[in-house]
Chain A
Amino acid sequence: MAQLNAQGQPYEDDAPEPEAPAPAAATASTDALDDLLAEIDGSLQVNAEQFVRSFVQKGGQ
């Protein structure tokens, strides 16, 4: 997942990079993250679109 540009597309020259981060590097804390992810995913199934639409702020400084 490290190999993303801002559009979420892999960079074309990823493969030959020897020091390219391995996704496995993030697995140390997988269990704690998994529980949280399941909760996030569940809560977003319901009303994500409406939530995003109704989050409107006025500009500030």
Chain B
Amino acid sequence: MRVVGIETEYGIVDPDEPRANPILMSSRLVTACRAWAGEATSRWDYGGEDPLQDQRGFRRSRLGASEDLLTDASEFDAAEGRVTLRRRRGSWEDPAHLNAVLANGARFYVDHAHPEYSGPEVTGAHDAVVWDRAGDAVALASAARYAEDEGSRVELYKNNVDGKGASYGTHENFLVDRAVAFDDLARRLTPHLVTRQVYTGAGRVGLGQFGEEPGFQMSQRADYMEAEIGLETTLRRPIVNTRDEPHAARDRYRRLHVIIGDANLFDVATFLKIGTTSLVLSAIEADDERLDALELATPVEDVQTVSRDLQLRARLELASGESATALEIQRALLEICRSYATDAGDAAVLARWEGVLERLGGDLFSAAREVEWVAKLQLLGRLRARHASEGHPDGLPWDDARLAAMDLQWSRLGDGWATRLADAGQVERLASDDEVAAATTRAPQDTRARLRGGIVAARPDLVDAAGWSTVVLDRETDHGHLEVVHLDEPAAARHPLLDALIGG
């Protein structure tokens, strides 16, 4: 049972005012989210963040940052469950960095120029789907509230590119055993991250970062991956990101931050993205040397090769000198991962993984109910074909604006074409609408998200701020200070002090 979580940056547009400021809109959307949440919301606790720590063991220098800005320094405390005291600070909030910590344990906030939903910690792929879709529901509810309060509209897009060169991320986080050497982890995980696109890709019209070449590819993010390994997330993005900010006990855990993935509107894609990667990480933690045979000779180039290989035939050169297709590498990973299934959830992942690879290897479109890029390609192909004529037997060319528009509108929350396709019964759902609706206000019960979400739901009046590994309480006490409750064990869903407050 691995603790995982998904973060989604949404594209944001005012359809009536395309030049509207996205930071301002995002900020107002977070305000609207708070209004939607009623009392049950809290500020973000910036006390425990350490964004400059690198997984490879060194730190970035804190260029130009003055001491009083570095609020994280005094908070570190390895003792479990301890409550430390913190002096009160001013409560001014930067409007460009507004946050709402929600009753479902998630964080909804402004990241760069996008609204972002960082889902709560969950265990397992199914719950990842549930709380990921809950994020879409929260974002939509916030947009509805925005329309009421602001008198203007805002549309949200769950995609990763604008076709003009900009990319924004959907990140996965996996809790990993600290004992695994990071270089081994990166080397052994890379073949999976490069080839899993065949079922995690959301599909994209346009090739190249600016869509400068007409065509269709599997993945939204592939053209933005420019390095094998590194700390960056906005420039020269790496296949394996090295940010070492565990938001948990540093001596025991890493938080692997995966930035290569697409935003997905298909449940099966999200389910496999989390489920398969989690199992491969189990194989890595077990030091399974079978993984070494799959090492790629040129992984950065291969990301793009796989993304453009709609027939799934391209052979990738392995470090061993042999070659394999993406599907062959995925099948080999599947066989290795059979050794690491520990519960029914893992078994469901393996079964789905095997089935989808089988369908992709046979009639591609038999996977259209599960694999997002295949469904998008199918719909685009039919749209093109509607316009076939003697002069244009292929129908619409790939650089026709209608295809680009359809691609963008595919991902619009609420009424986008992917949603409409699902409403028409053409997309397999793994989580019910009821499950998702409940997850907008209820946290997962088997991680520390239960404590964060629970206290925000039950006693928001006592919460000064909350973060991934802290809840800061503001109670009437003798000492007059804020109390920082440390939640350094992500899988610990109980805490004596918080349980008492939530229960009573």
Residues of A at the B interface (CB closer than 8 Å) are 1-8, 11, 19, 21-22, 25-26, 29, 32-33, 35-37, 39-41, 44-45, 48-49, 51-52, 54-61
User: Once the chains bind, are B164 and A56 in contact (CB under 8 Å)?
Assistant: yes
B339 within 8 A of A: no
Interfacial chain A residues near B167, Cβ < 8 Å? 59-60
Which single residue of chain B is at the shortest CB-CB distance from A4?
B310
User: Once the chains bind, are A32 and B114 in contact (CB under 8 Å)?
Assistant: no
- Given A33-B379, A49-B401, verify A60-B310 contact (CB < 8 Å): no
User: Once the chains bind, are A25 and B365 in contact (CB under 8 Å)?
Assistant: yes
Residues of B at the A interface (CB closer than 8 Å) are 9, 11-13, 18, 22, 111-114, 157, 162-169, 171, 207, 213-217, 233-234, 259, 308-311, 362-366, 368, 377-379, 381-386, 394, 397-398, 400-402, 404-406, 408-409, 417, 420-421, 424-426
- By DSSP majority rule, is chain B's interface helix, strand, loop, or mixed? mixed
**Complex CA–CA separation, A45 to B168 (angstroms):** 29
Interfacial chain B residues near A5, Cβ < 8 Å? 215, 308-311
Smallest beta-carbon distance A19→chain B, Å: 7
Within 8 Å by CB of A56, from B166, B401, B404, lies B166
**Complex CA–CA separation, A26 to B382 (angstroms):** 10
**Complex CA–CA separation, A5 to B309 (angstroms):** 6
User: Once the chains bind, are A52 and B404 in contact (CB under 8 Å)?
Assistant: yes
User: Once the chains bind, are B18 and A56 in contact (CB under 8 Å)?
Assistant: yes
Within 8 Å by CB of A57, from B11, B377, B398, B421, lies B11
Which single residue of chain B is at the shortest CB-CB distance from A34?
B382
User: Once the chains bind, are B311 and A48 in contact (CB under 8 Å)?
Assistant: no
Interfacial chain B residues near A44, Cβ < 8 Å? 383, 402, 405-406
Interfacial chain B residues near A36, Cβ < 8 Å? 379, 417, 420-421, 424
User: Once the chains bind, are A37 and B383 in contact (CB under 8 Å)?
Assistant: yes
The 26 sampled A-B contact pairs (Cβ below 8 Å) are A1-B378, A2-B310, A3-B311, A6-B310, A7-B213, A19-B362, A21-B362, A22-B363, A25-B363, A33-B382, A40-B379, A40-B417, A41-B383, A44-B405, A49-B405, A52-B163, A52-B405, A55-B13, A55-B164, A57-B11, A57-B113, A58-B112, A59-B167, A60-B112, A61-B9, A61-B168
Within 8 Å by CB of A61, from B259, B401, B417, lies B259
The winner among A7, A40, A57 for most chain B CB atoms within 10 A is A57
User: Once the chains bind, are B166 and A58 in contact (CB under 8 Å)?
Assistant: yes
User: Once the chains bind, are B386 and A37 in contact (CB under 8 Å)?
Assistant: yes
Smallest beta-carbon distance B273→chain A, Å: 17
User: Once the chains bind, are A55 and B163 in contact (CB under 8 Å)?
Assistant: yes
- Given A56-B164, A61-B233, verify A41-B386 contact (CB < 8 Å): yes
**Complex CA–CA separation, A44 to B410 (angstroms):** 12
The winner among A4, A5, A40 for most chain B CB atoms within 10 A is A40
